[in-house]
Structure 1
């Protein structure tokens, strides 16, 4: 997912001017996606992301060296007007960075709606019937919505964009003036509604300092088709997060505060009703 620290999963070495990100041996594809993204953005949107410095992706421990960006993570801090403006501007710049001919050659990002539907189907056996609690009831409601949804197919009139592939606000760095983006291991071709839903529904957007979703989304001019798709993508990703947070609470050492799954159940229910 993100770039190390309390909200990350990869080994990251921070130097004064550069960062080395190390991937597990089986995660070479993640490194390749990140390296491709950094190179494309350095050409088409310089300054938005770290500059690519070196890549060693054919080794037992794949690694990428990139420049170190200034700023503090937007996750876990209040998001005032200027910070929201900067966040939205960074997202808009990312989505429109690549010329259409270049974007057409970028593979779809992993974890799109059809992938998530498959995961949800494999997880559905864990839902207790009849539901025994708030989370189970919301899962059941969400799965019934999924049965009649066509969320996995973006309409033809929804244009593709370049997507970061991870909505964690820890990946957006704010220096008081501008927001920049890190962590592109799941990047690729996507659509704007799905990528915006990745941000609004990520647990990092509400478990600490909540993102003002209405204010954030108001900074984007969406078509009617994108708005309809955004609603469904938010529902889909909220359902995915409900499962993930429920699984997290079953761990011996959960990563999130107690009751997070129940809070997510209420979020999902509100989106579905």
Structure 2
């Protein structure tokens, strides 16, 4: 999968040079801001205060500024859902489906979006983090951007889970725990 991802990123941007992937960093930042406003207009309860506190911690980390910094662009599949990666055992080939989110991105954001997608929870973080150099995260700047992207993406997934918290409480709590862990971790 990592090899295929490297090949995808090596595709010349061509017409995608002016077309960013859907759910890019600025999209998630905007959605988190909207969610924050919704929380302020919601009931004054412990859950809303906790969500507001997590958003405040994220703001204090400076992730918005980090993700606004320029980074080299790569072609991106644009959808981290592992269900879009199909392995064919007989011919030992991997197929990548659902290209509707494709566009340009950067390696750090792209890697973070893959790792923080809920479908990626099936793979232990230690394995993902060991693959960072192969995913194009090789230096301090890349790791800093990757950490900022992970926190932003995790927070966005928390907002998605928050909307369904009554229907899927365990998924919400799992995402809440994960987001909190990422927000308090160092960028190391």
**TM range, normalised to the smaller chain?**
0.7 to 0.9
Q: Structure 1 unaligned segments of length 5 or more: list them.
A: 1-86
Q: Of residues 102, 112, 118 in structure 2, which corresponds to 1:187? A: 102
In the TM superposition, what is the alpha-carbon distance from 1:140 to its structure 2 partner? 2.1
Distance 1:239 1:171, change over 3 A: same
Q: Is this contact kept in 1: 2:67–2:148, CA < 8 A?
A: no
Query: Which residue matches 1:238?
Result: 154
Name the structure where helix makes up a greater proportion of residues.
2
Aligned counterparts of 1:138 and 1:271: Cα–Cα separation in 2: 14
* CA RMSD, Structure 1 to Structure 2 (Å): 2.3
Name the structure where strand makes up a greater proportion of residues.
1
Query: Which residue matches 1:93?
Result: 7
Q: Is this contact kept in 2: 1:160–1:191, CA < 8 A?
A: yes
TM-score where L is the length of structure 1: 0.57
The alignment of Structure 1 onto Structure 2 pairs a total of residues equal to 174
The SS at the match of 2:68 is: coil
Relative contact order (alpha carbons < 8 A, sep ≥ 6): 1 or 2 greater? 2
TM-score where L is the length of structure 2: 0.81
Q: Is this contact kept in 2: 1:194–1:230, CA < 8 A?
A: yes
Q: Structure 2 unaligned segments of length 5 or more: list them.
A: none
The SS at the match of 2:34 is: helix
Q: Structure 1 residue runs of 4+, over 6 Å off?
A: none
Between structure 1 and structure 2, the one with the greater Rg is 1
Query: Which residue matches 1:51?
Result: none
Residue 79 (structure 2) pairs with residue 166 (structure 1) = yes
Distance 1:124 1:107, change over 3 A: same
The SS at the match of 1:111 is: coil
Distance 1:217 1:154, change over 3 A: farther
